[in-house]
Amino acid sequence: MAKFVFVTGGVVSALGKGIASASLGNLLKARGLNVILQKFDPYLNVDPGTMSPFQHGEVFVLEDGAECDLDLGHYERFTDTNLNQDNNLTAGRVYETILARERKGEYLGRTVQVIPHVTDEIKRRIQLSAQQNPDVDVVITEIGGTVGDIEGQPFLEAIRQFRLEQPVEDTASVHLTLVPYIDAAGEIKTKPTQHSVRELRSIGIQPDFLVCRAKEPIGDDARRKIALFCNLPADHVFDAKDAESIYEVPLNLHQQGLDAVVCERLGLETQAPDVSEWEKMVQVLLNPPERVRIAIVGKYIELKDAYKSIIESFIHAGIPNHAAVEQVWVDSESLEGEEVGERKMAEMFADCHGILVPGGFGDRGIQGKVNAIRFARENGIPFLGICLGLQCALIEIGRDVVGLEMAGSAEFDASTPHPVIHLMDSQKGIANLGGTMRLGAYPCEVKKGSLAADLYGQIEISERHRHRYEVNNAYRARFEEAGVVFSGLSPDGNLVEIVEYPDHPFFLAVQFHPELKSRPRRAHPLFRGLVAAALQRQSRQAETAAG
């Protein structure tokens, strides 16, 4: 029988509820428990797939093709466990399910209402993963938003009911709050936490544990005060002080004993957790002997959450390379226009030892990406293109090497004379935009002897996808004649997955999203390879300068 932990947040948003949930999952897993993390978001989109990265940050894609909130990425990275569509629920999907039932006549004669129909569906979904997988010991469900939000109420009401219906020792509530430091007063303030817990208790949920976000540890006096006013024992109040790296958070919480008291509360007898490997990883990560700079040329760069998994993948890739990867953000539109000549490009990428062009949609900033790729190709700068980055690489090579002056993608210009990138056959005739891309994990066969085969160390791989457009096979032969190697193909050979350019230290582009599978203790081979190549370039440059 599984146990259920609910994580809510109060006072303000962006407290790092996802990291706190993932950290608890990490620690319970280190205790030998089988843990599933899930996120329930109260907004009305059916999934985040159709939301702008500016609004919502990156859309994380799971093995089964679910388009999810980026917190699912943290869950997978912190617990090294693959999740699925059932682990991300939105109010939109709840209503979609209920309204479909209503149209079928399943509620015939009854009024369909938030209570009990919406809350019952939420309760069903809380248990779904555990029911499908009897080995699960603990399900941690994070509720998006902040306590007090109108749209979150049905979710909290469902949790209240669920807790009432289950044995006391089968559920626990963790509430995350903010303990601000007021400069003028020179002290921390516990009142916002008290208010937030009062709000939660007024809904009928007494939190069992509080995790207080604060600049510094909150100290025993504040802990006792918070405990007294929030109606819980002082050793159930934890602080999550600002950390240099998110990967430190599980260790900080473990030091304070969070996992031990959660297990005690849930009646789970487990071994003491072995956090030594994680600790070692964090040590390497925080004390890198080397540094290297890699430029990311994108168009959503004002909101770094839009590239969350890429940022994390570079952190992971730095670990085996013993290097910190400094990310230099370049707005692709700033690389466009007449005045952006070779000199300006050289200025923009001065001190960068590698260039990454990430995924994206629409034509804005495309020329800038093409320019950046040309600069990388011509100057031997290690380059990794992801999804749209691959598509731009072929446009660039098509125009400059193959001689297709007007090479383009049908996504940006339906009448382009040379659509080297075109809509996939399977996408033709699709009218609905939600959840209809080529999504999730697909196998890929890697060409022996290629750079990709060398990096992966194997020739059968599987990677996650999210795209509608692909390399147009009608142009494949011409690219190959120009030296391009299509080093990864779908097993039927029809779909280009990996592209390499010859006589270059590291020029690799992939149609899939390697960043979705990188884990802190298992850096993705392509990111690891890019960072290694960038370090080599850096040391070559240093040798040249010295010699």
Total H helices, total E strands in the chain: 18, 23
Q: Can residue 107 be called a binding residue for ligand GLN (CB under 6 A)?
A: no
CB atoms within 10 A of CB 378: 12
503 backbone φψ class: left, alpha, beta (φ>0; ψ -120 to 50): left
Beta-carbon contacts of residue 286 (< 8 Å; ≥ 6 apart): 244, 245, 248
Q: Is 82 helix (H, G, I), strand (E, B) or coil?
A: coil
Is the CB of 468 or the CB of 528 nearer to ligand GLN?
468
Minimum distance from residue 307 beta carbon to ligand GLN (Å): 12
- CA 415 to centroid of chain Cα atoms: 35
| Helical residues (DSSP H) of 133-189, grouped into ranges | 153-165
Residue 479 Cβ vs ligand GLN, minimum distance, rounded to whole Å: 18
Please, is 511 exposed, middle or buried when counting C-beta atoms within 10 Å of its C-beta (0-12, 13-18, 19+)?
A: buried
Window 411-440: residues binding ligand GLN (CB under 6 A): 411
Complex with ligand GLN: residue 360 or 368, whichever CB lies closer:
360
For residue 532, the minimal CB distance to ligand GLN (Å) is 24
To the nearest whole angstrom, how small is the minimum distance from the Cβ of residue 388 to ligand GLN? 4
User: N- to C-terminal Cα distance for the chain?
Assistant: 67
Q: Which is nearer to ligand GLN, 375 or 469 (CB)?
A: 469
Name the phi and psi angles at 291, rounded to 5: -135, 145
Which candidate in 316, 353, 467, 513 is catalytic? Answer: 513
Identified binder of ligand GLN from the candidate list 144, 360, 398, 408, rule CB under 6 A: 360
- Which span (14-22, 318-326, 357-365, 516-524) binds ligand GLN, by CB under 6 A? 357-365
Answer yes or no whether residue 387 interacts with ligand GLN by CB under 6 A. yes
Q: Which has the closest alpha carbon to 274: 252, 253, 251?
A: 251
Q: What count of residues does the chain have?
A: 547
Active site residue 387: yes
- Indicate the burial class of 81 (C-beta count within 10 angstroms; 0-12, 13-18, 19 or more): middle
Interface residue with ligand GLN, options 388, 394, 402, 471 (CB under 6 A): 388
Interaction pattern, residues 154-193, with ligand GLN; x per rule: CB under 6 A: ----------------------------------------
Q: How far is the CB of 305 from ligand GLN (least distance, A)?
A: 16
| Window contacting ligand GLN (CB under 6 A); options: 18-26, 248-256, 339-347, 467-475 | 467-475
Report the residue closest to ligand GLN, judged by CB.
359
Beta strands in 417-540, from DSSP E residues, in sequence order: 418-423, 438-446, 460-467, 469-471, 485-489, 496-500, 507-510
Identify any residues that bridge with 328 across adjacent strands, giving them in sequence order: 295
Question: What is the pairing mode between strands 181-182 and 88-90?
Answer: unpaired
Give the tokens for residue 406: 């007007």
- Given 42, 57, 144, 359, the residue binding ligand GLN (CB under 6 A): 359
Does residue 56 bind ligand GLN (CB under 6 A)?
Answer: no
Q: How many CB atoms lie within 10 A of CB 478?
A: 16
Active site residue 263: no
- Letters for 316-355 (x = contact with ligand GLN by CB under 6 A, - = none) are ----------------------------------------
Contacting range for ligand GLN; rule: CB under 6 A; set: 73-81, 95-103, 449-457, 466-474: 466-474
Instruction: Please compute Rg for the chain using Cα positions.
Output: 25
Residues 513-542 that bind ligand GLN (CB under 6 A): none
* Site membership for ligand GLN, residue 466 (CB under 6 A): yes
Query: What is the nearest approach in angstroms of ligand GLN to the Cβ of residue 411?
Result: 5
User: Which range of residues in 148-156, 289-297, 323-331, 463-471 is near ligand GLN by CB under 6 A?
Assistant: 463-471
| Shortest distance (Å) from residue 43 CB to ligand GLN | 22
Give the bridge partners for 228, in sequence order: none
**260 exposure class (CB count in 10 Å sphere: 0-12, 13-18, 19+):** middle
Residue 422's φ and ψ, nearest 5 degrees, are -140, 170
Restricted to residues 469-498, the positions that interact with ligand GLN (CB under 6 A) are 469
Span interacting with ligand GLN, options 130-138, 242-250, 358-366, 394-402, rule CB under 6 A: 358-366
Q: Which is nearer to ligand GLN, 199 or 411 (CB)?
A: 411
Q: How far is the CB of 437 from ligand GLN (least distance, A)?
A: 6
The values of phi and psi at residue 397, to 5°, are -65, -40
The 10 Å CB-count burial string (b at 16+, else e) for 232-246 is beeebbbbbeebeeb
Does 468 bind ligand GLN (CB under 6 A)? Our answer is yes
Q: Could you tell me the sign of the dihedral formed by the alpha carbons of 520, 299, 15, 205, in that order?
A: negative
Q: Tell me the one-letter amino acid at 344.
A: K
Residue tagged active-site, from 387, 463, 467, 524 = 387
- Residue 360 or 514: the one with the smaller Cβ distance to ligand GLN is 360
CB of 497 to ligand GLN, least distance (A): 13
- Cα separation, 348 vs 341, in Å, equals 11
Tell me if residue 444 is catalytic. no
Between 132 and 473, CB nearer to ligand GLN: 473
Closest distance to ligand GLN from the beta carbon of 493 (Å): 19
Residue 467 sits in the site that holds ligand GLN (CB under 6 A): yes
Catalytic option among 58, 236, 515, 524: 515
User: Contact between 307 and ligand GLN (CB under 6 A)?
Assistant: no
3-state secondary structure of 487: strand
Using CB under 6 A as the binding criterion, the count of chain residues that bind ligand GLN stands at: 10
Residue 382 or 385 with smaller CB distance to ligand GLN: 385
Given the rule CB under 6 A, which residues bind ligand GLN? 359-361, 387-388, 411, 466-469
**Residues tagged active-site:** 387, 513, 515
